[in-house]
Amino acid sequence: MRLFIIRIIILTGIGVAIPVTFFAQNWTRVGPASSSYGGGLSNVVTDFYTDTINNRLYVSGGFTDTSCHSGGCYNFAYWDNVAWHYIGDSIGVPQRSPFVYYQGKLFSSNFSKQYNSNSSYGYLAYHNLNYWTRTDSVHGLIVALKLINNKLYMVGGFDTVNGVKAYDIAYKDSIGWHAIDTTTWGMGGVNGFNGGFLDVAEYNGDIYIAGNVSSYDGTINKLAKWNGSVWSNVGGVMFSTGSFSGISRLCVYNGELYVGGDFYQPGFSIAKWNGSAWSQLGTGLTDSLGDPGEVEEMIVINNKLVISGSFNFAGGIPANDIVEWDGTKFCAFGGKFDNNEITTFANFNNQIYIAGPIYADTVYICNIGRWVGGSYRDTCGIDAATSIKQLSVSNEQVSVYPNPNNGNFTIETNSTEKQNIQVYDVNGKMVLSQFISGRANIDASSLSDGVYNMSIIGNEAMINKKLVIIR
């Protein structure tokens, strides 16, 4: 839909014309205005689950609302298009509780060992009438649950599941829980519940994991692929990150793997992988300063990829926090939110429900809102297909010597175009950036001894090299 803008000219007594702009309402509250929080929920919503069989939208989060049940709804509730309903309290207060439907039951996660306990052990639980029944114990935090090839995968920051040693990723089949392998990762883990992996997906028969993690040998950063026997880097790219978590979401759309988060390369906050090469999506998702935005959720709805998070532009068009991608161009929804990003969303009865903002335009939605604006499309950008660049990883185009070196080395390319040299440490932090043309001597003597990842970025290609400094 197009956002209707009504401009009224008010003539003042001194003959000055003042334009006043009113925006059509696109979003509304979820629930009756007479409820405790004006139709919203009292605190943050972290996860949705759409139950198409019983026509329910399940939500979890940090809310404690009295309006939906005589005893209150604590951390869990469902919406049936009329009112909020009680579905049982959490067994302890979860930090977040992703849902999954597995073997005929609705599961959720991160139930504490004891009510309001600070125990580092949590539980999976399934819903039974108005109760949650605990099943599997986890030492750490579960961030995502996914059903892949009839197996239940979970990722997060943990090291043990039902007594089985499994670091940040595990899966369950008819026999029980299994670790993929014994790899431990450079970040994440159970300390502080920071959550190593944030998402998991299957693409072309391989398992992909994403999050704020890196391998200890420095060859993998933010994204990894498991081919059934070994973990590997994806396409030679070492994701350069901003202040967030690197990659937070994975989604397969139109036969390609989309990754979203907060990163500079191989695209601003969003990129796609076709199994052999990376592609940018136009100019990506950016904030008001032109820096990468943050992607929090990606879902395919009606053959379009809908993306939410914290950003102000998508492919160069104004788009606040939620946008649609049709495979060639971005289309904005229209509207403006307060400072709270759209952390997640769901499609329920062919309407989009969002979580995060307190206000949408000038409407008080209090942590959860519903789209009522008709067609989602407002402003669309130009076809980005001609501007999408394939990012080459051919190592024959660049020479780096000596390597290893003492911090001083030479880069020689077969191109005369201006190229940007970016060097990253094992945690993904950019520690050096310099522009060159053709051949250049690089002074990295200020860097400590160690293994670094280096990207040589041109107009049409990006090449990655490992750099070793030793004195």
Between strands 56-65 and 73-79, the pairing is: antiparallel
Within a domain: 419 = yes
Task: Please return the burial class of 83, using the count of CB atoms within 10 Å of its CB with bins 0-12, 13-18 and 19+.
Answer: middle
The answer to whether 209 touches 232, Cβ cutoff 8 Å, is no
Q: Which domain holds residue 58?
A: 27-390
Q: Measured on CA atoms in the order 159, 140, 227, 272, is the torsion positive or negative?
A: negative
Residues 386 and 398 in one domain: no
Query: Is 80 exceeded by the pLDDT of residue 464?
Result: no
For residue range 64-92, list pLDDT tens digits in order. 776 665 556 778 889 999 888 888 766 55
**What CATH number does residue 397 fall under?**
2.60.40.3080
Within a domain: 121 = yes
Confidence band (pLDDT; 50, 70, 90) for 107? very high
- Give the count of domains, the chain: 2
Residues 326 and 459 in one domain: no
Pick from 390, 420, 452: which residue ends a domain? 390
Lowest-pLDDT choice from 159-173, 204-218, 325-339, 391-405: 391-405
Within a domain: 2 = no
Mean pLDDT, rounded, for 126-138: 85
Residues 170 and 268 in one domain: yes
Within a domain: 202 = yes
Query: Is 80 exceeded by the pLDDT of residue 33?
Result: no
Residues 377 and 425 in one domain: no
Query: Is 80 exceeded by the pLDDT of residue 430?
Result: no
The rounded percent of the chain whose pLDDT value lies above 90 is: 39
Query: Is 90 exceeded by the pLDDT of residue 50?
Result: yes
Which of 89-98, 192-201, 306-315 has the highest average model confidence (pLDDT)?
306-315
Residues 322 and 385 in one domain: yes
Nearest to 307 by CA among 317, 321, 293: 321
Between 426 and 335, the more confident residue is 335
Mean pLDDT, rounded, for 242-248: 66
Confidence band (pLDDT; 50, 70, 90) for 7? very low
Pick from 369, 390, 411: which residue ends a domain? 390
Within a domain: 16 = no
Pick from 390, 417, 437: which residue ends a domain? 390
Query: Is 80 exceeded by the pLDDT of residue 200?
Result: yes
* Pure H helices in 293-378: none
pLDDT value for 445: 93
Query: Is 70 exceeded by the pLDDT of residue 470?
Result: yes
Q: What proportions of the chain, in percent to the nearest 5, are helix, strand and coil? A: 0, 50, 45
Lowest-pLDDT choice from 324-328, 334-338, 353-357: 334-338
Mean pLDDT, rounded, for 211-234: 86
pLDDT value for 378: 66
For residue range 16-28, list pLDDT tens digits in order. 333 333 344 688 8
For residue range 152-189, list pLDDT tens digits in order. 999 988 889 999 999 889 999 999 999 998 887 765 44
Residues 434 and 337 in one domain: no
Between 112 and 384, the more confident residue is 112
Query: Is 60 exceeded by the pLDDT of residue 318?
Result: yes
Q: What is the mean pLDDT of the chain?
A: 80
Mean pLDDT, rounded, for 111-128: 65
Residues 139 and 197 in one domain: yes
Q: State the number of CA atoms in the 13 A half-sphere of 317 facing the CB.
A: 22
Residues 293 and 333 in one domain: yes
Query: Is 50 exceeded by the pLDDT of residue 316?
Result: yes
| Residue 337 per-residue DSSP state | B
Residues 280 and 337 in one domain: yes
Q: How far apart are CA 276 and CA 143, in angstroms?
A: 29
Residues 449 and 379 in one domain: no
Within a domain: 17 = no
**What CATH number does residue 136 fall under?**
2.130.10.10
Q: How far apart are CA 149 and CA 66, in angstroms?
A: 40
pLDDT value for 63: 83
Confidence band (pLDDT; 50, 70, 90) for 446? very high
Residues 107 and 170 in one domain: yes
Within a domain: 347 = yes
Residues 249 and 220 in one domain: yes
Within a domain: 193 = yes
Dihedral pair phi/psi, residue 321, rounded to 5°: 70, -15
